[in-house]
């Protein structure tokens, strides 16, 4: 199972015609592409189950609606111009740090994960962990294989040192982090390749130790291993 090039054609057309009128006229096209993405997502749930606890997780627990919530947004475009899904134990509403898959034309597709919108409590926990146990995190995110696939972290940092920490702390850059998120982007041709699912799962397994680290400090959750 792989994603068809027609999925990108539909999303590109939707980006150019993001109105309820156009979407209504092209609803059948949307349903065909949604079905393809849903089937791909179901396949990934099974493959993630090889190294994560996906017991009881179904399509509805992973997929996102294409309809945008425009109530508090200046952009009133009614539809997202991408397909997306998240994978974790318990599904996307579990609160756990998960694997996020984003499929969008123009080389904007990616697999990502990490500390994207942490609560103040989570930020405090993260900084305390960095203060006392930075080597564990650094051994993960600065390993040769991890850097090769996911590169540098994405996200915002404080301009000044957070309160309670010495400005000369050796881990100043990690402590200033407000977000610590990694992603690996894919060209459209890669997404439509029959081997894309295998490449995606390979990259997810490289991301896993970082998500395990965050889930351990935030939720006291032991890393899942197959029996």
pLDDT score at 72? 81
What local confidence, expressed as pLDDT, does residue 28 receive? 98
Residues β-bridged to residue 86: 100
CB within 8 A of 132, min separation 6: which ones?
none
Contact 186, 192 (CB under 8 A): no
User: What sign does the dihedral 91-97-99-102 (CA atoms) show?
Assistant: positive
| Two tokens, residue 176 | 């200033």
Q: Select from 13, 24, 15 the least CA-distant residue to 77.
A: 15
- pLDDT per residue, tens digit, the chain (227 aa), is 679 999 999 999 999 999 999 999 999 999 999 999 999 999 999 999 999 999 999 999 999 999 998 888 888 999 999 999 999 999 999 999 999 999 999 999 999 999 999 999 999 999 999 999 999 999 999 999 999 999 999 999 999 999 999 989 999 999 999 999 999 999 999 999 999 999 999 999 999 999 999 999 999 999 998 65
The pTM score is 0.96
Looking at residue 206, what is its pLDDT?
A: 98
Q: Which residue in the block uniquely carries the two structure tokens 């993001």?
A: 18
Q: Which two tokens stand for residue 199?
A: 């490449």
State the sign of the Cα–Cα–Cα–Cα dihedral 190, 191, 197, 200.
Answer: positive
For residues 199 and 84, what is the distance between their CA atoms, to the nearest angstrom?
17
Please state the domain extents for the chain.
Answer: 5-219
The pLDDT, as a whole number, for residue 75 is 87
79 — phi, psi (to 5°)? -125, 145
């Amino acid at each position: 199972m792989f994603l068809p090039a027609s999925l990108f054609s539909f999303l590109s057309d939707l980006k150019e015609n993001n109105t309820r009128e156009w979407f209504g006229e092209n609803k059948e096209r949307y349903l065909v592409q949604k079905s393809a993405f849903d089937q791909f997502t179901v396949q990934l749930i099974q493959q993630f189950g090889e190294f994560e606890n996906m017991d009881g997780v179904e399509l509805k627990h992973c997929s996102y609606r294409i309809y945008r919530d425009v109530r508090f947004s200046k952009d009133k475009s009614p539809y997202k111009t991408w397909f997306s899904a998240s994978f974790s134990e318990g599904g996307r509403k579990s609160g756990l740090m998960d694997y996020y898959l984003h499929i969008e034309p123009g080389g904007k597709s990616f697999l990502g994960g990490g500390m994207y919108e942490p609560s103040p409590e989570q930020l405090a926990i993260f900084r305390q962990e960095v203060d006392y146990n930075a080597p564990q995190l650094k051994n993960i995110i600065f390993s040769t294989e991890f850097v090769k696939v996911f590169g540098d972290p994405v996200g915002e940092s404080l301009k000044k040192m957070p309160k309670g920490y010495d400005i000369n702390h050796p881990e100043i850059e990690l402590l200033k982090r407000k977000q610590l998120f990694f992603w690996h982007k894919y060209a459209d041709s890669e997404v439509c390749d029959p081997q894309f699912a295998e490449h995606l799962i390979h990259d997810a397994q490289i991301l896993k130790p970082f998500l395990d680290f965050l889930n351990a400090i935030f939720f006291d959750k032991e890393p899942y291993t197959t029996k």
